[in-house]
Chains A and B, each alone.
Chain A
């Protein structure tokens, strides 16, 4: 991944944004626009990426419908499953939570969860906190990771 640090240094110019939104006919208020003062182009891109593909009602509904109803870990205490979960963790989570669960971009992962809650956090994520949801990996793989995390605790 090349470095795009220069985006951090470039500030968004609210006046320019106002002119653009006028051309597009977007009904932003003056307050919305003024709130951009001091934001960088990096902030703008992050906001855009977070919004992209969200807010699609049927998709949210579909995800909800697909979520499993009874949250019982089929692998509870299975050491082989935990080993598989470990490699999934290394691939999908370690970048944010650290290889040794010590934290980084995301918090250190502490003990004390029950299987069902842990499953829900991983499966659905905490969008407003920056924790992505992993429903796309499928129920089984999320349970494998839960098993791994519980074994670590």
Chain B
């Protein structure tokens, strides 16, 4: 059969931009880590913690994670449907609108404009840009799938579709607001309702952005990297549908012990625990796909990233349900334990899988083999150590804070002031800031490796005939 003319240029462009936003996010993450221990680093008004923190999360989730998902979705959809993109022009437009939106987000956040909803800070004009961006993206993905040349839909396509549809619904519902002026609006919901909608959005953002897309990527790139198919297609599909069904009911586990109705909290708790099953469905499927292939953990650096990634996903989906249990939540909620959970997910699971996919694509994007595999191995160890140090130090800090906050004298008075608990976690804050430096050292090696690969590709282009590469 004739090979379709896949559009790889757009994939490459998205990856380059998402790498930029990823580095920005991490640099800002390191800066805010230091601000928590050296307050003088807050340069008011533009560079205070309150404005930089949402810049960090937005650049991380929307710039780095979603930017790379755009690239990988546009890549996978062509391969899995055996046809070129439905519209190359639309994809180009999407690239520029994406970058424009991220820049607008960064500028307005630094100027202090915010809706004050976590992960939905951007004010309504930028909300509108996001909606257009997502519609453009969705049309291209859906139309390519509709007009596909491969009858069977691989599980990655299902995860991609869920994410495309899910994000659209969540974002639209949560963005309902009444504008006062160009950069000020109030949520259309009030009080406890607002909180409930916000965390229904917030947790499903975890599902539709930080779970479904990386699973799509994992299911595609693991078999591609190992050269053997996934263990069970049926298991992957069952896990998919049950995951999507269960996630929708869990948002209120962010609101345990608050004034939202008790039954909503209990339901969220129950569904969160049930989520272990479909989450581990994918983990087990990944592990079993490695049957007889475990030596590749040593020999194939891509597999190392992917298998460690799915392992952190497995740990994350055990820790998450535990946090959703009322009694445990009462202990760790509001403490630094939670950022420990978050960064095992973002730095461990999501970023490791994305690194692997980008490495896999490097030869296909640049027309030459990766510049250095030892550098990629070094990258792996640095980000692994950085992430573990981050999470472990925050878990210890969280438990310590929780212990101190809960210590009560015989007459009901608190044993420790808040200040005392804060001072006691400074050593862990230092460890976290340091872990960020280790992590970014790894990421800079990664970027350097890619840049050197591009250079190598260029010199080869002039000496050797193109087309000899990209064999896979």
Interface of A toward B, CB cutoff 8 Å: 1-6, 16, 19-20, 23-24, 66, 91-92, 135-141
Q: Are B186 and A24 in contact (CB under 8 A)?
A: yes
- Could you say which residues of chain B place their CB within 8 Å of the CB of A2? 35, 39-40, 42, 44, 48-49
3 smallest CB-CB distances across A and B, nearest first, come from: A138-B413, A2-B42, A138-B411
Please tell me which one of the listed residues B40, B45, B178 contacts residue A23 in the complex, with CB atoms under 8 A apart: B178
Q: Are B411 and A23 in contact (CB under 8 A)?
A: no
Please tell me which one of the listed residues B39, B178, B186, B409 contacts residue A1 in the complex, with CB atoms under 8 A apart: B39
Q: Are B409 and A140 in contact (CB under 8 A)?
A: yes
Interface size on B, residues (CB 8 A): 19
B152 within 8 A of A: no
Question: For the complex, what is the distance from the CA of A96 to the CA of B365, rounded to whole Å?
Answer: 64
Smallest Cβ distance from B52 to chain A, in angstroms?
11
Question: For the complex, what is the distance from the CA of A112 to the CA of B45, rounded to whole Å?
Answer: 46
Please tell me which one of the listed residues A6, A24, A141 contacts residue B413 in the complex, with CB atoms under 8 A apart: A141
Q: Are B412 and A138 in contact (CB under 8 A)?
A: yes
Interface residues of chain A: helix, strand, loop or mixed (majority): helix
How many residue pairs between the two chains, A and B, have CB atoms under 8 Å in the bound complex? Answer: 46
Q: Are B44 and A3 in contact (CB under 8 A)?
A: yes
Question: For the complex, what is the distance from the CA of A57 to the CA of B49, rounded to whole Å?
Answer: 34
Smallest Cβ distance from B414 to chain A, in angstroms?
6
Please tell me which one of the listed residues A3, A16, A24, A66 contacts residue B412 in the complex, with CB atoms under 8 A apart: A66
Q: Are B44 and A19 in contact (CB under 8 A)?
A: no
Q: Are A136 and B409 in contact (CB under 8 A)?
A: no
- Could you say which residues of chain B place their CB within 8 Å of the CB of A3? 42, 44
B184 within 8 A of A: yes
Q: Are A4 and B44 in contact (CB under 8 A)?
A: yes
For B185, give the chain A residue with the smallest CB separation: A23
For A2, give the chain B residue with the smallest CB separation: B42
- Could you say which residues of chain A place their CB within 8 Å of the CB of B463? none
B181 within 8 A of A: yes
For A66, give the chain B residue with the smallest CB separation: B412
Contacts known (A66-B412, A138-B411, A138-B413); A20 close to B184, Cβ less than 8 A? yes
- Could you say which residues of chain A place their CB within 8 Å of the CB of B35? 2
B417 within 8 A of A: yes
Q: List 11 A–B pairs whose Cβ atoms lie within 8 Å, in order of A's numbering.
A: A2-B35, A2-B39, A2-B44, A2-B49, A3-B44, A4-B44, A20-B184, A24-B186, A137-B414, A138-B414, A139-B411
Question: For the complex, what is the distance from the CA of A140 to the CA of B258, rounded to whole Å?
Answer: 31
B180 within 8 A of A: yes
- Could you say which residues of chain A place their CB within 8 Å of the CB of B181? 16, 19
Q: Which of B397-432 contact A (CB under 8 A)?
A: 409, 411-414, 417
Contacts known (A19-B180, A20-B180, A20-B184); A140 close to B42, Cβ less than 8 A? no
Question: For the complex, what is the distance from the CA of A139 to the CA of B414, rounded to whole Å?
Answer: 11
Question: For the complex, what is the distance from the CA of A142 to the CA of B224, rounded to whole Å?
Answer: 68
Taking each of A19, A20, A23, A92, which has the highest tally of chain B beta carbons within 10 Å of its own beta carbon? Answer: A23
Question: For the complex, what is the distance from the CA of A3 to the CA of B181, rounded to whole Å?
Answer: 28
Interface of B toward A, CB cutoff 8 Å: 35, 39-40, 42, 44-45, 48-49, 178, 180-181, 184, 186, 409, 411-414, 417
For B414, give the chain A residue with the smallest CB separation: A136
Please tell me which one of the listed residues B40, B48, B49, B417 contacts residue A91 in the complex, with CB atoms under 8 A apart: B417
For A92, give the chain B residue with the smallest CB separation: B417
Question: For the complex, what is the distance from the CA of A73 to the CA of B231, rounded to whole Å?
Answer: 74
Smallest Cβ distance from B409 to chain A, in angstroms?
5
Smallest Cβ distance from A149 to chain B, in angstroms?
19
For B413, give the chain A residue with the smallest CB separation: A138
Smallest Cβ distance from B425 to chain A, in angstroms?
17
Question: For the complex, what is the distance from the CA of A1 to the CA of B50, rounded to whole Å?
Answer: 12
- Could you say which residues of chain B place their CB within 8 Å of the CB of A24? 186
- Could you say which residues of chain A place their CB within 8 Å of the CB of B39? 1-2
Smallest Cβ distance from B415 to chain A, in angstroms?
9
Smallest Cβ distance from B387 to chain A, in angstroms?
28
- Could you say which residues of chain B place their CB within 8 Å of the CB of A23? 178, 180, 186
- Could you say which residues of chain B place their CB within 8 Å of the CB of A140? 409, 411, 413
Smallest Cβ distance from A52 to chain B, in angstroms?
15
Question: For the complex, what is the distance from the CA of A34 to the CA of B98, rounded to whole Å?
Answer: 43
Question: For the complex, what is the distance from the CA of A5 to the CA of B45, rounded to whole Å?
Answer: 9
Question: For the complex, what is the distance from the CA of A139 to the CA of B410, rounded to whole Å?
Answer: 10
Question: For the complex, what is the distance from the CA of A3 to the CA of B49, rounded to whole Å?
Answer: 12
Taking each of A1, A138, A140, A141, which has the highest tally of chain B beta carbons within 10 Å of its own beta carbon? Answer: A138
Question: For the complex, what is the distance from the CA of A135 to the CA of B49, rounded to whole Å?
Answer: 31
For B408, give the chain A residue with the smallest CB separation: A138
With A2-B35, A2-B42, A138-B414 already in contact, 12 other A-B pairs whose C-beta atoms are closer than 8 Å: A2-B39, A5-B44, A16-B181, A23-B180, A24-B186, A66-B412, A92-B417, A136-B413, A138-B412, A140-B409, A140-B411, A141-B413
